[in-house]
Structure 1
Amino acid sequence: MPFIVGAIASAAGWRWALLALVAPIFLVGVWIEVERTVRGDKHDVSPVDRSGWCALLQEPRFSGPVLAMVGFQMVFAPLAVRLPFMLTGQASSVFSVGLVLSLANMAVAVGLAITGWLVPRVSSRALTKTGMVIMGLGCVLALVGEVHGPPWTVVGVIVVLSAFGFGFVMVPAMADALNVEAADRTSAAALFGFLQAVCSGTAVAMTGMVISDHGVVVVALTLVAIATVWISQRTG
């Protein structure tokens, strides 16, 4: 897939490359559900037994974590895609852009390791609330960027993204989404991953025409994400 996406990006641009990443996941997800329904019809399975995904989405133990994931992807995906362009727009050298992105990815890797150690010891709600605080700090830094210059906005974006790197939102959401009946866990894992990919692609597509380097846009996206994650804590 990396070779295919790279070839598409070279030939048609990065937007089509992103579509190439999301489209197969979407098509496979639809195909699996259609195939499962057809197979159920052949074996006279009742409609209730064929509606596993719909039933999962109606279950608060699953729908709450999914809502948290959707809220976070609304800000994470667009900002993650936009960050390299923000760095380039500040007339940074190719080396400095690569260095900043490498450090950001390093923070993600280290953060996930730390969260893996914390998950058995700290509740999901506590981790998620910590993630909301981190995103709020990113909002403040982005607002500072409106006064003191774009570098502060970049720092704010990296801080917001670090809420994913440190797993304070996505790791608990993923773990809680699988806290369903044992028979439904495989379907829950598949549906969660499917929705994550679709939500990421949709968020990038919807914000692609309005996203900018201004801190106000970063703050608006992040506040929507924080509000959605907060609501998920009330419904999960």
Structure 2
Amino acid sequence: MSGHSKWSTIKHKKGAADAKRGKLFTKLIKEISVAAKMGGGDIDTNPRLRTAVLKARSANMPKDNIERAIKKGLGELGGTEYFENVYEGYGPGGVAVMVETLTDNKNRTAADVRSIFSKAGGNLGENGCVSYMFNRKGVITFSPENHDEETIFEKALELGAEDMSSDSESIEIITAAEDYETILESLKEEGFTPDSSELTMIADANISLDEDGTRKVLKLLDTLDDNDDVQNVSSNLEIPEGFDPDA
């Protein structure tokens, strides 16, 4: 099981609490608005918007919220203008970290991200310092308690998934970015209900640290992910099976 899947599982558990606080919805609304601004308000012709709306629906965001976010992006409603930026750096133990942001204040976000890296014992780097280690992929995870691993693997392979893995906590399907939506929707139509699904950056190879180092990196990732301007956090940390981040 990849380190990313472990981090996805941790984020999914956090997501339930985030949704209660409205934090998850706020991040989704930003992504929908920017996607609509960049490529128009038609989900049939705007793949980025379609992906954002699918993610919002899976988080049970009300339809009215989604429609308002699209209208804000199109300029039909007043709202804040957001700018995209990606930060790259290294965490404790030399773990590579990528941070995707949407912000209304680039200077504030840059200062916040730099401070978070520094306090965690890492450092923010230049553009390109770690991005060459990552590729954008689709990641779909399922609970092994509710799904048969072999059945999902067979269907995912038939649909063209790139990679599949599992452990006691999660069943993970990796897809090419361009195949993500098709495979996700096809699996849903077959009756499989994912725990989480997203387009994200996946490392070509992961690195392992000792328990203390792993905890330090996870704290960094968690603090970054908790920042209101951060949309997505990726790393090449290998999280061992059975590792309990709350222990």
Larger CA Rg, structure 1 vs 2:
1
TM exceeds 0.5?
no
Structure-2-length-normalised TM-score: 0.21
Structure richer in helix, relative to its length: 1
Structure richer in strand, relative to its length: 2
Structure-1-length-normalised TM-score: 0.22
